[in-house]
Structures are given as C-alpha cells and as structure tokens.
Amino acid sequence: MEKRLAEFEAAGVRPVAISVDPPEVSRNLANKSGYTFPVLSDPDAAVIRRYHVLHPAGGPDEHDIARPAEFLVDSSKIVRWTNFTEDVRIRARADEMLAAARTLP
C-alpha cells in the first residue's frame, strides 16, 4: 500500500493499519518499514472486537491478536468492502483494494 498511496488518495481512500501491539511497537514497525500511513495501536482489542476480527489466543504466548482483514469504510463509517483470511501471510493486494475503492459511491 505504501508504494501506491497516491493512487489510494486519488480513489478517496486513506490506508490505516490497526494492531494489538503496544503503541511503541506499532510506531517502531511503521518507522522500520517506512510506512507513512497511520499504524494505530489497539492493545485492548476494542476496535478489533467491534469489527469481529479477534483471534483469541492466536498470538505468541496465546495473546489475542487480530485476524488478517482489510476493510474499506466510507466517510459515513459504513463498511463498503471486506477481505478476511485465516492466514496472516495472505492479504488483499493493493490492486484488489484499489479496484474495490474505485467502485465505491
């Protein structure tokens, strides 16, 4: 997504990542990876639970983590597109998300 931020912005989309990691871990990951989009921290998994993507005890030491998922949410906070997987290595590709974003009202 980072490499295609201009295309996402042109489609009216602003990427945001959310992780159960503490803020400093999320910040370090974003810095190390060169991400310029927000990488938010949700250590209590409140937002992750609201979007029904909690994977209880799925992380190291059986910590709760988020299932891999991507959402496109419009300015009215309506979820317009979703992608869910069970494998952390499988994610929606930027092309797929951009195609979906371009069809949103």
Specify the pLDDT at position 33: 94
Supply the DSSP symbol for 34.
T
Spans of the chain, pLDDT less than 50: none
Structure tokens at 5: 């931020």
Q: What is the pTM of this model?
A: 0.78
CB within 8 A of 23, min separation 6: which ones? 41, 43
Give the model confidence (pLDDT) of 59-85 as tens digits: 888 989 888 888 888 778 888 898 888
Specify the pLDDT at position 28: 94
Specify the pLDDT at position 84: 87
Specify the pLDDT at position 74: 79
- Residue extents of the structural domains in the chain: 2-102
Question: Quick one: CATH architecture of 2-102?
Answer: 3-Layer(aba) Sandwich (3.40)
